[in-house]
Amino acid sequence: MATILNLVLWFVAIWFILIVLVAAVLMIVDARRKRRAGDTDEVSFPRLPPISEKLGDSRITLYTYGRDLFDAMLAEIRGAQHEVHLESYIWKDDELGQRFKREVIAAAERGVKVHVIYDVFANLVVKSSFKRFPRSVQVMRHPWFTPWIFLLRIRKTGRDHRKILVVDRKVGFVGGYNIGSDYATKWRDTHMRVEGPLTWELNNAFVDFWNAHRKGAQPELVDTGDIEWEPRFKAHRNAPIHLSFPIRNMYLDAIDRASVRVWITQAYFIPDLDILAALLRAAGRGVDVRVIVPEISNHVLCDWLSRGFYSQLLRGGVKILLFQGAMVHAKTATIDGRWSTIGTANIDRLSLTGNYEVNAEVIDEGVAAMMDRIFENDCTATRELTLEEWSSRRHRARFSEAVLVPLRPLL
C-alpha cells in the first residue's frame, strides 16, 4: 500500500514539475514574441458603427469599437445630474483612464452622487496615487486577498470581473470593455448601451453588489424596485458568495434550444464538460455551431488550454474561427436569430463558477439581427481552423496540451 502511495506521489510531483516547465517555456516564448512585435498604434480589424434597436420602451445600442463606446460613456458622465454608478475590473492609469477619473470627480464636485467599484487584484500594477479619489467620490475596492482562502471558502474569494456604468438610472452600459487607451483602438470587444426603463436591470446589479460588499462607513444604496416587467431582457449575475451562477445555466438552456445556429465569440474559451457536450449535441443535430476566438490572445496559457478542446470540437462538427489582427475580447453569443447575450463572462471556469460577472440576456429578433450582423462582420477577419490542419500539428504541441490539462479547473 505504501509503495502504491509513493508511486502516486511521485507521479503527481513529476506532473506538477512538467506543468511548471511547460507553462514557463510558453510564457517565455510568448514574451519574446511580444517584444519582437513591439507596440504599434496601427491595429486594423473590421468594425461597425454603433447600431441600435428598440426593445419595448427602451433602446439597445451595440458598440464594437472602443473609441465610440468611451466617447458615449464619458458624455453620459459629463451630463449626469443625480448619480453615477461605475464599476470596472481594470481601470488603467493612462490617457483614457485619466479622462474617466477627471469626469467622475467633476460630477461629484457638482453635486452628483458618484459610486465607483474596481477590483484591487486586476489593478495591482496601477500606481496607488491614481487610485486615490476625493471624499466626494464613494469608492469600493474589491479586495485582492481574503483570509477565507486558508479555510477553502472559495465562494468568498471571487474577483469582481464586471463592467457596468449607470447614469441617473436612465442610461446603462455593460459588456467586455475595461477602461484603458489600448482598449479604445487596439482590442475588438462588444458593449451594450441600454436607454430607458430596462436600465433598472443594470442599476439593480450595481446596487445589490454595493450593498452586499460595502464597509460600515459607506452608504447603503436604495433601489425602489421596478414597475415595468420586460421578460425579453434580463441581467444575469454570478455571485459566488451566494453560490449563484445563472450565466452558465443561461448558456446551457439556450444552446439546448438551438435548431438553426449557435454563434459564439469568446476571448478565453475553456468550456466545462456540460457546455462542451451541449455544443457537440447541437452540431450533431445539424445546428451551425461556430466559435470565434483570438488566434493569439493576451494570455498564452488560456490559448493552450482552449486548444485542448479543438480536436473534440472539430470532429464533432463545430467550426473554430481564429480572429486575426487584434485581440478579440468579446463575450457574446447569438442563437437562431432570436436569442443573444452580451456581458462580462467568458466561457471558462473562472467566469462561470468563480467570479462576479454580469451578462445581459435578450430574447428579441431585432437585437439578434444586430448580433448576427456583428458576427458576420467579425468573420471577415478570421480564418477557419480545419481538422486536417489541426491533426497535423507537432507532437510537442500535443504533449504541452496534455500536460496542461490539470490547469483547466483553475482557469
Give how far the C-alpha of residue 15 lies from the chain's centroid of Cα atoms, to the nearest Å.
31
- Domains of the chain, each with CATH number or no CATH: 51-233 (3.30.870.10), 242-410 (3.30.870.10)
Nearest to 22 by CA among 399, 406, 409, 408: 399
Nearest to 335 by CA among 377, 369, 359: 369
Read off the DSSP letter of residue 91: B
- pLDDT of res. 177: 98
The amino acid that residue 219 corresponds to is P
Residues in the chain: 411
Q: Is 312 exposed, middle or buried (0-12, 13-18, 19+ CB in 10 A)?
A: middle
pLDDT of residue 229: 86
pLDDT at 297: 84
Check if the beta carbon of residue 314 is closer than 8 Å to that of residue 294: no
Tell me the C-alpha distance between 105 and 136, whole Å: 8
Q: For the chain, what is the total number of helices (H) and then of strands (E)? A: 13, 18
Amino acid at residue number 214: R
Q: Are 387 and 310 in contact (CB under 8 A)?
A: no
The cell numbers describing 154, all together, are: 472559495
Max intra-chain CA distance, the chain: 73
**Residue written as grid cell 438553426:** 260
- pLDDT computed for residue 243 by the predictor: 87
- For position 148, what pLDDT does the model report? 55
Per-residue pLDDT 10s for the chain (411 aa) are 667 776 767 766 776 776 777 667 667 776 777 677 666 666 789 989 999 999 999 999 999 999 999 999 999 999 999 999 999 999 999 999 999 999 999 999 999 999 999 999 999 999 999 999 999 999 999 987 666 555 555 556 689 999 999 999 999 999 999 999 999 999 999 999 999 999 999 999 999 999 999 988 899 999 888 878 889 999 999 999 888 999 999 999 999 999 999 999 999 999 999 999 999 999 999 999 999 999 988 888 888 788 889 999 999 999 999 999 899 999 999 999 999 999 999 999 989 998 999 999 999 999 999 999 999 999 999 999 999 998 988 877 777 777 677 777 766
* pLDDT at position 6: 67
First to last CA, the chain: 34
What one-character-per-residue DSSP string does 177-215 give?
Answer: --BSHHHHHTEE--EEEEESTTHHHHHHHHHHHHHHH--
Distance CA 316, CA 282 (A): 9
Q: Tell me which residue has cell 470627480.
A: 105
Report d(CA 201, CA 183) in Å as an integer. Answer: 25
Q: How far apart are CA 389 and CA 254, in angstroms?
A: 31
| pLDDT of res. 146 | 67
Q: What is the DSSP string of 338-396?
A: TEEEEES--SSHHHHHTSBEEEEEEE-HHHHHHHHHHHHHHHTTEEEEPHHHHHTS-HH
Helix (H, G, I), strand (E, B) or coil at 148: helix
What CA–CA distance (Å, rounded) separates 198 from 403? 46
CA 10 to chain centre: 38
